[in-house]
């Protein structure tokens, strides 16, 4: 795409899209151009539809991959090419709504005990104790982010370029003290990578997490993000207010947070069926 690629990158940067999103959008736009071996400024709605159908019918990509390509092409034509009419009728794919897997508290303990490295154990504990995203944990800084006086963690530049505070657990603070005593990171980041001035990578964390899941004997299909789901679900089961959980997770909409009301098996099991509310003794037979 050449010059058009550079222009798209500049437009994304001016609108403060994250580095990762900028890369994904440009990659999707390049996929579109390579499919027809033509520059996007020489194509329009017909080619966009044919390309998206190719992704669905031939490549059989996931809904999330479809959605990313639609978002990238909408940005390209609306902003960079200033031809919004080309993507006005291009729909976002309808996503299948699934419930996330959640780890029990016993499984969380087994997972933490399966991690030998205090560095990775602290990272995993931080994810469960705070509900932070993996990228947010990797970017934590030694100076200013951990407030042990107010018992808060300052999450900077989270999703949507938003800052927020999350609760600092006393157990997590104790673990952080142990980690600091043993590792004492020298650079600016609390969890540095191989280079002390760069944060640990999400890839490295996920690799260790996957090995810990296997070592703990957990058979559920889980990812590092499952710790965030578990955090929210366990808080809800403990009776925490939904709006407080929304703020802790950094959700823009309460509707996103309310999905955890459907996940919590504990809350569901406590709900009485209307059949049990009929004015009869519980052991009364309906025969």
Catalytically active residues, by annotation? 133, 159, 225, 228, 251, 260
**Quick one: CATH architecture of 105-269?**
Orthogonal Bundle (1.10)
Average pLDDT, the chain: 90
CA distance 61 to 243: 35
Q: What is the pLDDT of residue 256?
A: 81
- Ranges for all domains in the chain classified under CATH 1.10.443.10: 105-269
In this structure, the dihedral spanned by the alpha carbons of residues 32, 37, 39 and 45, taken in order and rounded to 10 degrees, is -50
Tell me the percentage of the chain whose pLDDT exceeds 70.
91
Res 265 pLDDT > 90: no
The answer on pLDDT for 285 being more than 60 is no
- What is the pLDDT, as a whole number, of residue 283? 61
Q: Residue 155: beta bridge partners? A: 164
pTM (two decimals): 0.73
- The predicted-structure confidence for 273-282, as pLDDT tens digits, reads as follows 676 666 666 5
Residues of the chain with CATH 1.10.150.130: 3-86
pLDDT recorded at residue 253: 86
197-225: pLDDT as tens digits = 999 999 999 999 999 999 999 999 899 99
β-strand partners of 192 = 199
Contact yes or no for 209/124 (Cβ under 8 A): yes
**CA–CA separation, 118 and 76 (whole Å):** 45
CATH topology of domain 3-86: DNA polymerase; domain 1 (1.10.150)
pLDDT (0 to 100) of residue 229: 92
What's the rounded mean pLDDT across residues 87-106?
Answer: 87
């Amino acid at each position: 795409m050449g010059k058009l690629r550079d222009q798209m990158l500049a437009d994304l940067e001016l609108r403060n899209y994250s580095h990762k999103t900028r890369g994904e959008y440009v990659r999707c736009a390049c996929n579109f151009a390579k499919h027809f071996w033509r520059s996007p400024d020489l194509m329009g709605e017909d080619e966009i539809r044919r390309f998206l159908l190719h992704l669905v019918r031939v490549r059989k990509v996931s809904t999330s991959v479809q959605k990313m390509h639609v978002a990238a092409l909408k940005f390209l034509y609306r902003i960079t090419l200033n031809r919004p009419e080309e993507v006005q009728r291009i729909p976002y794919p309808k996503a299948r709504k699934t419930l996330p897997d959640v780890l029990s508290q016993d499984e969380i303990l087994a997972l933490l005990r399966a991690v030998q490295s205090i560095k990775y154990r602290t990272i995993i504990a931080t994810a469960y104790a705070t509900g932070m995203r993996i990228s947010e944990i990797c970017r934590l800084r030694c100076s200013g982010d951990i407030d042990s006086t107010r018992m808060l963690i300052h999450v900077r530049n989270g999703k949507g370029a938003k800052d927020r505070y999350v609760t600092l657990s006393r157990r997590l603070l104790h673990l952080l003290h142990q980690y600091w005593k043993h590792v004492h990171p020298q650079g600016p980041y609390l969890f540095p990578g191989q280079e002390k001035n760069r944060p640990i990578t999400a890839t490295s964390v996920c690799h260790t997490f996957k090995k810990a899941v296997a070592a703990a004997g957990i058979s559920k299909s889980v990812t590092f993000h499952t710790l965030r789901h578990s955090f929210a679900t366990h808080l809800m089961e403990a009776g925490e207010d939904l709006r407080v959980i929304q703020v802790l997770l950094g959700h823009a909409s309460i509707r996103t947070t309310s999905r955890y009301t459907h996940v919590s098996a504990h809350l569901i099991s406590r709900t009485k069926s209307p059949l049990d509310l009929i004015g009869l003794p519980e052991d009364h037979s309906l025969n």
